[in-house]
Chains A and B, each alone.
Chain A
Amino acid sequence: KAGVTQTPRYLIKTRGQQVTLSCSPISGHRSVSWYQQTPGQGLQFLFEYFSETQRNKGNFPGRFSGRQFSNSRSEMNVSTLELGDSALYLCASSLGRGVRMSYEQYFGPGTRLTVT
């Protein structure tokens, strides 16, 4: 079974631009979560989608948004990029049936975003 894939793997943008990152979950997984990882703040939860609906949201500004498609693929968008948005953005998928919180998550390799 193929793992979680994320595209692109590396991205360089300038301040003020916007960016869209893509995540394809493991086949059959309906839940997709996004995380930001930086050396200073560690791993921080952005949001979680299940069946095209945002289920949970972390403490990030409205510049960070996401969506999930009917095939469970997900995209996250960051508008008006700031230098502090430079980070590794990780996507994780899980079975996530119903509201059970016990399912393990499978992570992709991440997209390394650099804002200059």
Chain B
Amino acid sequence: DAKTTQPNSMESNEEEPVHLPCNHSTISGTDYIHWYRQLPSQGPEYVIHGLTSNVNNRMASLAIAEDRKSSTLILHRATLRDAAVYYCILRAPTLLIWGAGTKLIIKP
């Protein structure tokens, strides 16, 4: 089963861009790359997803490597409300596999 690898935690200053990396070297051609985040005491929240091309939405941007073995979630201007655990997930035809996620700490 395809898995993802993320750093356990990252720190960033408020109002600066944040780049959250994810490795998924065993990704298959039909796996979508999804990102979710979970704020304390809440259920996960959808952030963005993509297949091959880079994607942008109002929350973030997703940069996908050409070989699709890694991706980066970009928060253009982090705020204190962005402090959460960020999960990179491969949505394959048969299973959704969640890693441990990256705890993002925002310093004021």
Contacts and interface: CB of A to CB of B under 8 A. Distances in A.
A89 to B, nearest CB: 10
A60 to B, nearest CB: 12
Nearest to B98: A43
Interface residues on A, range: 20 to 34
B51 interface: yes
Given A102-B32, A104-B34, A45 B46 contact: no
Instruction: Name A's interface SS.
Output: strand
A101 B43 contact: no
Interface string B64-108: 000000000000000000000001000111111111110000000
Interface of A: 4, 33, 35, 42-45, 48, 56, 58, 90, 92, 99, 101-102, 104-110
Interface of B: 30, 32, 34, 36, 42-46, 49, 51, 87, 91-101
